[in-house]
Amino acid sequence: MSMTWTKDQQKVIDTRNTNLLVSAAAGSGKTAVLVERILSLITDAEHPVDVDRLLITTFTKAAAGEMRERISRALAERLKEDPGNEWLQRQEALVHRAQITTIHGFCLYVIRNYFHTIGLNPNFRIADEGEMKLLKQDTAKEIIDEAHRSGDPAFRKFADSYGSGSRGNGLEELVISLYEYAIASPQPEQWLRNCVSAYEMPEDGTWEDFSGNEAVLEGLRTAAGDVLSVIREAKNVAQMPGGPAAYCEALLSDEQQLTELAECVSVERFRERLEGISWARLPSKRAKVMADADEELCQNVMDLRNRMKEAVKGLGKQYFQISDEEQFAQLRETAGNVQVYVQLALAFMERLEEKKRKKNILDFADQEHLALKILTREEDGKLLPSETADVFAEYFEEIMVDEYQDSNLVQEAILESISRSRLGRENRFMVGDVKQSIYRFRQAEPGLFLEKYVHYGEKDGGIRVDLHQNFRSRSTVLDAVNEAFYRIMRPELGGIDYDEDAALKAGASYPEEDHMTAELLLLQKEEWEQLQRECRWTKAEAEAHMIAGKIRYLFREGKVTEDGQLRPVRPGDIAILLRTMSGWSETFVRVLQEEGIPASAQSREGYFQTMEVETLLAYLRVLDNPTQEIPLAASLHGLLGGFSSEELAKIRASSPESGFYAACRQYREQGEEAELRDRLISFFEQVDRYREQASFLSVHELLWRILMESGYLIQVRALPGGIQRQANVEMLLAKAQDYEKISYHGLFHFVRYIERMQKYQMDFGEADISGKSGEAVQIMSIHHSKGLEYPVIFAAGMGKSFNRQDGREKMIFHSRWGVGLDYVDTEARMKCPTLMKQLIRRQNLMDGLGEELRVLYVAMTRAKEKLILTGMASEKLIAAGRKGERLLFSDLMGAECPLAWILPALNPEEQESSVKISIVSMEQVIREAIREQMAEQLSRDELERRLLYGMRDQESEDRIESLLNWTYAWKDRTAAKQKYTVTELKKQRLQEEMEYGEELYPEEEIVPLVPQFIEKTEEKTGAARGTVYHTVMEWLDVVHMAKVFEHGDQENIIREELDRLCAVGKLSEEDRRAVREQDLVRFCKTDLLKQLAAAESQGKLWREQPFVIGLPGDEADGSDPEETVLIQGIIDAFFEEEDGVVILDYKTDRVHAAKELKERYQAQLDYYARAVAQTTGKTVKEKLIYSFSLGKTIFL
């Protein structure tokens, strides 16, 4: 059946003899158009092209396979119409050897055919990712160790400045990071040398001498233009009927100053004008000229003007905190450290290459770089095509690149080297969508696409064709996407201006159906915090339960289209997309399954922690060395051993003085229970047999034999999640086979290999079972969803904070600007970001947020019929939404999460919006979740009742009746808990005292009346804030704080410490904002800090220490004194001094006097003291509470 193409699609198919860039929006049918263009080239009436004379590169092997299959099918269809066509028969034969591949596939083709031109051994193999990571770690350690031994003062200074601890630990990772960024450049060595030159400012240097001068100026002017739009908006309001027209004179002055600022031609001039700005006073509201002005409009103008002033203050904070001369001097003084850093990376690069050549292996990056080395030659610092490149340029009639927006600089250099551009015959075809460029972490360079997007069509060099008609989604989905992105995507953030040309146009036909409007489901953070103590759900759990409720509704009421007809929604129609899977996907799968909804997710981490893999690895460790106690116990207790905990306890108790392996040996010889003894003998006989076989079998063969003889695969398949578990085991088997290709062989080396992978926190991610999980809701990352489509999409986690961790790293990198380091004065113990680091930080922030915008676009455009966004937001964020305005650049840059973009961009309630917003009650979500769980339990109860109902014989009925009526003789003891937390006991004792007091002194509850305009809602509840403060105090560097606090800028010291905790992952951005810096300032002024620091220095400070102790029942909860009750808890801190132990507890409760805290927590600290005395054997001399609310230490 012939296809009807749009005018733009036909232009893509027919255009010849030029470079062609196709900007193909989501769902625009680009793959079909690309295939048709290939067929039109093959069957061109005047100049037909053999299919193997086309180079067609795609992003993935799967996409390449699909492309080849489509071309083959299309050729077969045409041959049916014209069976005798010899040309088509030839193409059908050639298509199987045509270069339809990934860019790495093409690179390997080049290397394997031209290895001799670069002196490469042709018997190379591609190294395993894990193997390369370990090789890099080893190499970096060698380089750093050699540098330490050299005693080079320059290196010592570098290590002191950027390393951790006295030995400068952590430098290995810094070197690997610089290397991996360098090899993203076509000329890594030159890129590294440029890193150094960027810091080499002349003594009398100016902004013109700084390599990032133009970027700084452009950023400042963009920000000033953004502020200018605010004052123009204020001026428009002032000129409205009833507006404060008398303000216009001052506003015009503001506008003039900001216009001059935005038009500055140099950074020096910008700074001069910024520092010279002065604001005119607005007329008083009581002035005559203000008599007719509307008060609300007046306030609106003043709010906008104040917003403008705050923004102007922010303009100088990044680059103008210190004088220009000081900034340039810091660059010069940091140049030496950059030089050392670069030399380390170059030495690492050279050593790593030596090791790879010795092993005759290539890694992922080598494939590109060696192909580039074959295809180019360097002349005067530039790469020019080689003679080999000329061969390819002559052979390939057209070079076609799919997903061009995800190309990197090395790939671009490779493809440009074999194009015919240098011969005056453009033959490049590039298709992609810059709005879907989401692989920045792989060094994708969307700027390559954007440069052509802007310039093609304006001058010679190429043609651009835009495909914006979407043939995938309902118009309701496209309307939602367009409404949001009209107002949030722009060239500075996201890459292009999302205007009418970029907007998606509906091209798909669907039957009419109500309830297809896109939705935004919100949970209120404050309500979640309030109810968290009762339900104890994490944010992810709360959101997952909300989504589960919506999915059940869709199962009841929802419809989707199949073969042009509506049908009910099924689980497989739904996908839940997450920005990151870690910590969320497992939760979503569990919650949905608990609520009776089949769900499946592939995890990218946690492979080594899965039970089925952990058990096998433990067994392999036992085969390697049976005396390892933990692996031995795990193997005995796991599926391969089958011993119960009680049986292991008996074995352990039989020989309490020896190790566990010796205890097993002892029990095999003299064990009391014959059956247990025989099973233990059988287990070790099997271990000995496999150990013997390990000497002549490969790891893969040994593992396969274990699996087959033990029936392990069948066992794991029978467990919950059996398909995933079996796939994980099979993946370990495949990894063992891959390992045999590495230089080392045998069980010993394989076990060491896995142990080192775990040591360096390298993970394979669980096996991919997509397509095998049956009819289930699919949970996947947004990146994994790219190229896929589902009838119903939930874009979840929209309230989750962006990851801005990059900006806090010691070293940050940029493809254009190089490396950003701090200026460090080791003698003064002072550091601050250099000018270059500030520039890179700003650019990376813009690039990172731009990518977050594009990730959001990808997520929203996966939906065919129904799009549902979900997230948790604060009342403040929700109240700020529904403005329907184009967001300012500063608003976009300041956003903490996607909801901070989406909510303000949607139309106000009085206007028609394409997105229906619903604030979902947490109480309702909890009720529904409980109801579902109860319904499931009732179903089980009904099944049990029916089973019992069939047992009609009198003996069975009597037996059941006796069981149901049986009473335990010591029932009173069962009412007492066997384990309490300290908090539970404290509450129990406090409740008893309160109830007794209420009986004697009944008192009417007084609820203070707080006017609405005074009452404020905090972002975190007391419980949540208390958790954050405890985290800070657990990780606070008390020794460092005690040294520097008295003589430094106290608030800045606290700020830096909190920033450090964020940088090392102890605090999130949200938690960071919950900490009042002044609270910590007050704490650090107390003698308590010095006590903690002194104890820490001597190794006598313990923080967040868990404990479990046993107490007689009457002492714990008033129960039977003969029963032992376990008490568990966590002590915030305790430290040892010469005359005893001091216990410290941190409290954030809002109280008016110390007496309240004493009464409230006396019991709790009494238990803590007892636990410390019992476990350490030392005397507790003091029990202290530090109250952040009161800012003082309280002695109990």
The pLDDT tens digits of the residues spanning 1038-1052 come to 888 888 887 777 888
Q: What is the pLDDT of residue 1019?
A: 45
In CATH, what number does 126-184+326-359 get? 1.10.274.50
Q: What is the pLDDT of residue 997?
A: 32
Position 807 pLDDT exceeds 80: no
Position 854 pLDDT exceeds 90: yes
Tokens of 270: 């910008």
pLDDT tens-digit profile of 95-148? 999 999 999 999 999 999 999 999 999 999 998 888 898 899 999 999 999 999
Per-residue confidence band for 1099, with pLDDT thresholds at 50, 70 and 90:
confident
- Pairwise CA distance, residues 815 & 409, whole Å: 9
- Pairwise CA distance, residues 428 & 17, whole Å: 9
| CATH architecture of residue range(s) 982-1002+1011-1195 | Alpha-Beta Complex (3.90)
User: Where do we find the tokens 């009841």?
Assistant: 556
Is 969 annotated in a binding site? The answer is no
- Pairwise CA distance, residues 273 & 278, whole Å: 10
Tokens of 195: 């890193």
| Mean pLDDT of the 924-947 span | 65
Per-residue confidence band for 202, with pLDDT thresholds at 50, 70 and 90:
very high
Is 935 annotated in a binding site? The answer is no
Is 29 annotated in a binding site? The answer is yes
Is 25 annotated in a binding site? The answer is yes
Distance of CA 9 to the CA centre of its chain: 37
Higher pLDDT, 889 or 811: 811
Higher pLDDT, 959 or 867: 867
**What backbone torsions phi and psi does residue 132 show, to the nearest 5 degrees?**
-70, -40
| Mean pLDDT of the 530-536 span | 78
Q: Please answer whether residues 389 and 130 qualify as being in contact, where contact means their C-beta atoms are separated by less than 8 angstroms.
A: no
- Pairwise CA distance, residues 1090 & 1093, whole Å: 5
**Alpha-carbon Rg for the chain in angstroms:** 35
Q: Please answer whether residues 781 and 605 qualify as being in contact, where contact means their C-beta atoms are separated by less than 8 angstroms.
A: no
pLDDT tens-digit profile of 937-982? 555 555 455 444 544 445 545 554 554 455 444 444 444 444 445 5
Q: What is the pLDDT of residue 1023?
A: 60
Tokens of 1132: 């915030």
Query: Mean pLDDT in the chain?
Result: 85
Q: What is the pLDDT of residue 742?
A: 64
Residue type, position 752, single letter: R
Q: Please answer whether residues 1075 and 1036 qualify as being in contact, where contact means their C-beta atoms are separated by less than 8 angstroms.
A: no
Least confident of 162-166, 339-343, 438-442, 810-814: 162-166
- Pairwise CA distance, residues 864 & 877, whole Å: 29
- Pairwise CA distance, residues 294 & 303, whole Å: 14
**What backbone torsions phi and psi does residue 660 show, to the nearest 5 degrees?**
-70, -40
Position 763 pLDDT exceeds 70: no
Q: What is the pLDDT of residue 1108?
A: 66
Specify the CATH superfamily of domain 7-124+363-467. P-loop containing nucleotide triphosphate hydrolases (3.40.50.300)
Q: Please answer whether residues 13 and 31 qualify as being in contact, where contact means their C-beta atoms are separated by less than 8 angstroms.
A: no
Q: What is the pLDDT of residue 607?
A: 66
919, 902, 794, 873: which is closest to 480 by C-alpha?
902
**What backbone torsions phi and psi does residue 1074 show, to the nearest 5 degrees?**
-80, -10
231, 328, 320, 210: which is closest to 275 by C-alpha?
320
Higher pLDDT, 906 or 571: 571
Percent helix, percent strand, percent coil in the chain, to nearest 5: 55, 15, 30
Q: Mapping DSSP to helix (H, G, I), strand (E, B) and coil, where does residue 309 land?
A: helix
Tokens of 408: 């990197």
518-602+779-922, CATH topology level: Rossmann fold (3.40.50)
Report the half-sphere exposure of 587 (CA within 13 A, side-chain side).
19
| Mean pLDDT of the 1141-1157 span | 85
| CATH architecture of residue range(s) 607-759 | Orthogonal Bundle (1.10)
455: left (phi over 0), alpha (psi -120 to 50) or beta: alpha
| Helix or strand run (H / E) with residue 226 | helix 213-238
- Pairwise CA distance, residues 51 & 96, whole Å: 9
Those residues with Cβ within 8 angstroms of residue 997's Cβ, 6 or more apart along the chain or in another chain: none
Per-residue confidence band for 167, with pLDDT thresholds at 50, 70 and 90:
low
- Pairwise CA distance, residues 704 & 21, whole Å: 51
| Mean pLDDT of the 653-672 span | 87
CB atoms within 10 A of CB 1065: 8
Q: Please answer whether residues 542 and 552 qualify as being in contact, where contact means their C-beta atoms are separated by less than 8 angstroms.
A: no
